[in-house]
Amino acid sequence: MKNRHMLAVWAGLLVTGLVGSASADVILVDFGNTSGTTAGNWNNSNLSGYTLTDMIDTDGNTTTYDLFFTTAVGQGGNWGVTAAPSPFNVSSAYNDGLFTAADTISFTLSGLSASETYDLTMFASRDATGTRITDYTVTGSGAPVILSLQTSGTDLGGVGINHNMASTANFSGIAPDVNNQITVSIDINSGGFAYLNAMQITVVPEPASLSFLLLGGLVLRLTRRRK
């Protein structure tokens, strides 16, 4: 009886520990240049000379993930934005960012893990009556994925609000390439300008964690059968 009880306790601790370890890291990046340091555990590309090394996650822990630009960087600020969806609803993050009126802007995420995938969420917004749409291309180990996001337009955010307040471009399950990198490109779709104010990177736990969870469940089942 004592052995069965200890086995059940061990299995419970195993499952609890693995659930905790399976929680995803989240990294936030502010691409603005006029708002200064973003509140909280953000990574600000302008304040770091456009290159971010060992970015911190939202718990303030240092990661192995880097971000560096592979093209010229254009930045602007005070774009008249008044709100954004979580987790971008910080004024120093949503009211400025990258922009281009002609050329592609590209950056690379490096130091990634071959055994993990990554979800990227882009937020962009600009107060303007003209309809402006940005294309984002994300490339990892598979074919490039392209999503579009409208950043401005008459009453886009509600009556009298001409900027995006709620929409994001969401990329899911992007695996790194052979160099453990993911590349992001920003291009104009329509309206003459393309933007990126802020980005969230979510690290998806590796599948091995799920296997260990199943192992914990199996141990519990065996314990019940022995009773």
pLDDT tens, position by position, 193-216: 999 999 999 999 876 555 554 555
> How many CB atoms lie under 10 A from the CB of residue 45?
24
Q: Which pLDDT does position 53 carry in this prediction?
A: 95
Does pLDDT of 12 surpass 50? Answer: no
> How many CB atoms lie under 10 A from the CB of residue 24?
13
Q: Which pLDDT does position 84 carry in this prediction?
A: 97
- Give me the sign of the Cα torsion angle 147, 198, 115, 221: negative
- Band (pLDDT 50/70/90 cuts) for residue 10 is very low
34 CB-near residues (< 8 Å, 6+ apart): 76, 77, 78, 96
Vertex 200 angle, CA 190 and 87, to 5°: 100
pLDDT tens string 161-196? 999 999 999 999 999 999 999 999 999 999 999 999
pLDDT tens string 40-97? 899 998 766 789 999 999 999 999 999 999 998 888 888 999 999 999 999 889 999 9
Does pLDDT of 37 surpass 80? Answer: no
Does pLDDT of 9 surpass 50? Answer: no
